[in-house]
Every structure is written in structure tokens, then in C-alpha cells.
Structure 1
Amino acid sequence: MKNEPMTSNSPDSTPAAQVESMQVGGVALRIRPIEPQDDRRLVEFFNNLSPRSIYMRFFAPMKQLSAAMVERLTRVDPQRHIALVALSRDDPGHPMLGVARVIAQDDLRHGEFSIVVADAWQGRGIGAALLQRCIDLAARRGIQKIWGLVLVENTQMLALGRKLGFTIQRSGGAEYELTIDVTAAAPETERMVQRVPTL
């Protein structure tokens, strides 16, 4: 990737209506859709993840994100791909603290979620806040069910799924499948997330 040009951490260009500022677990956050200009932030975020957090997210060890993957993860189709980032509001450069996604399938009624939070900021509710907003946005776009695979050892994500009302079923020897009816879950998420100190 060293030969691939990247943009700098320039000021946010997201419209103000799409940006939400909040305090979560004592952390001042700015939550907004991911932007192409987040490419460097995303690489720095990934490079600071522990091998375990990378494995929990990608189900495989990875040493770096390829340039193609960085582009795919930051230049998303807004009609099919909900991608929200949590940025530190107070730190210089506004580093990325977490990323959550829901990618709609071909029928546009089902979507797959993924989520990862920087190791130093896990356990403060950042992941719960991000996933809540993904669920809300998915419901507004007509997605009816969200699902995702979670490794058996990812106890934090399993606990979060239970608190938010996901149905959890064993999918294979090393995975659980989490599924939630978005139309039923979205109105409850705001109350539920306040009681989830995970991710």
C-alpha cells in the first residue's frame, strides 16, 4: 500500500444533519457515515487493532488492509451499504474509535452487520451506540432483518446481541448466527443500549 496515495485526515465533509455528537461511556463522540476521505483514518484504526480484534472482525488473521479493501470500505454505495464511524470529538485529528456496517443483500430486505471497536475503547458502549444507529437507519430504508456471524469466543458481541434482542443460533462449529427483526427491534434499541456496557 505504500505506493498508493491517500488523502489526509481532512475536516469532515459530511452534512451536519448526518452527524451526531454524543457522550458515550464518558467519551465525546462524533458519529457519522464513513467518507472516502476516511481512508487514512481507517488504516490507522486497523493498524492499532490487536490481532484478536482483527480476527473477531474478519474471521482470519490480517496484517494490513490492501488498497483495494480500503477503497471498498470507504467508498460505499449509500443505497445498499450503511457504514457509520465513531470519531473522537476532542482528540486532535479526530481518530476513528469504531466502525459498524449493515450491507443490504440483493433483495434489499435483509442485511448483514459487522462491527469493530478500537481495543482501548472497548467496554464503553461505543459499539452498542453504533449498532443502534445502524439498526435505526436500516429500518428507515426498509430493511426487515439484519443478521451476522459471530465467533463462539466473541463473548462481548454475543452479550450485546442478547441485550439488543438478536436471536442467536449455532451456525457451525465455531460460529453463531445473530438475527434481528429490524421492524420490531428499532423502537426498543434506544432504551436497551443504555444498559449495555460492552463493545
Structure 2
Amino acid sequence: MADRNMLSDARSYCVDATMLDGATIRIRAIRPDDQERLHEHFRSLSEKSVYYRFMGFKRDLTPQDLKRLTDLDFKNHVGLAATLTENGRERFVGVGRYICGADPHRAEVAFAVRDAFQGHGIATLLLEHLSLIADANGVSEFEADVLGENRQMLEVFAHSGFQSGQSLESGVVHLHSSTRKSSKD
């Protein structure tokens, strides 16, 4: 798990984690030099995965999007990548981030996992690590809007070990959960 130094400066966050199948991935902070890896990750997602993540169709990430999604302050906007290295080349298999709004104690959280890696526990791992950073930054609650048909993401939150509440409006499930695990764990 993360040490105190990584939590105090999440720009250096980097840990190895184990997926449900026993394989190891690296979870690390997204950096400004990740624009190409993030773009490749986005282009690898199916239309359905893009639709679930952005709640609509998005054809590509603009240069402005890539800058905004990789040049992070790691206080109000934190991004982590789940990576694998193959043939000496690092690639993203999942990304997760949180962004604080007007209330610095609450943040919206979102994930995108490559289709071939969905169901391996990557979003759950990213949620756990984002929660550690959020808690260290004084963020006590995550919120997420998830399409009601996106069962996999709803299950991530339902089985995450976080206390959650939810509401449904226009086919979108609004979830909120504490960044601290419940005492039953």
C-alpha cells in the first residue's frame, strides 16, 4: 500500500497492485508526459465504454482535453493510471480520477478501463487508491453519475466496501460514498 510520503505528494504516487486474476499492475500518478499514453488508451476503448464514461459519444480527445487530463494539481484534480509494461513499453489499461468542485470536501470520481481488462478489479483498485489520496487531501466524499445500464460500474461501487447512497434520475444513478472504508472491513 502507499506510504505517507506518496500521500502527501501524490504526484509521486506509484504502487504495484494485484488484479483479481493474480496478475500485477502498476498504479501510478498521471503525469504531463502521459498525453500520448492517455490518447492511446482513449482510442482503445469501445464505443460502448466511451459512451458509459462520458454519457454520450465522444470521437476523440482534443489537445486541450489531453493537457487538462494530464497536467494535474494533485489536490483538486487527481488522476491515476493502471499500467502494464509489454515489450519495454508502458501502456494504460485503466485510468481513474477525481475532481473537486465548489466544495473541497467532495469530488466527482470517474474511471475508464480498457474493454479487455474490464472485470479484473482495476476500477476497484483505482477507487481504493484514489480514496487514500482523497482522504489525505481532506476530501471526505466521492460522487459519481453512472448510467443505469452500466452494471459493471454500479457493481464496482456496490462491492467496493465503501458506504454508499444513491438516487436515480432520467436513467442516471447518482452515487455518493465516503472516501474512508466502512468499519465492517
The TM-score by the shorter chain falls in which range?
Answer: 0.7 to 0.9
Contact 1:43 1:70 in 2 (8 A): yes
Which residue of structure 1 aligns with residue 120 of structure 2?
124
- 2:138 is equivalent to residue 142 of structure 1: yes
Q: Is the 1:100–1:115 contact (alpha carbons within 8 Å) kept by the matching residues of 2?
A: yes
Code of the residue aligned with 2:65 in structure 1: it is M
CA distance in 2, matches of 1:85, 1:166: 24
How many Å apart are 1:90 and its aligned residue?
4.4
- Calculate the TM-score normalised by the size of structure 1: 0.81
- Contact 2:12–2:28 at 8 Å: present in 1 too? no
TM-score normalized by structure 2?
0.86
In structure 2, list runs of 5 or more residues that go unmatched.
1-8
Alignment of 1:26-175 (within 5 A): 26-164=22-160, 165-175=162-172
Give the aligned residue type for 2:106: H
Q: How much has 1:39 moved relative to structure 2?
A: 0.4
SS state of the match for residue 69, structure 2? helix
CA distance in 2, matches of 1:35, 1:19: 12
Decide whether aligned partners of structure 1 residues 15 and 76 sit closer, same or farther in structure 2, where only a CA change above 3 A counts: closer
Whichever structure has more strand as a proportion of its residues is: 2
The alpha-carbon deviation at position 166 of structure 1 amounts to 4.6
Shift of 1:127: 1.0
Instruction: Kindly provide the CA deviation profile for residues 122-143 of structure 1, in whole angstroms up to 9, marking residues without a partner as x.
Output: 1111111111101111111111
Q: How many residues align?
A: 175
Give the conservation status (yes or no) of the 8 Å contact 1:28–1:90. no
Identity of aligned residues (%): 29
Selected match of 1:20 from 15, 22, 28: 15
**One-letter code of the match for 2:174?**
E
Deviation at 1:21, TM superposition (A): 1.6
Structure 1 portions without partners, runs of 5+? 1-13, 192-199
User: Are residues 1:181 and 2:178 paired?
Assistant: yes
TM-align CA RMSD? 2.2
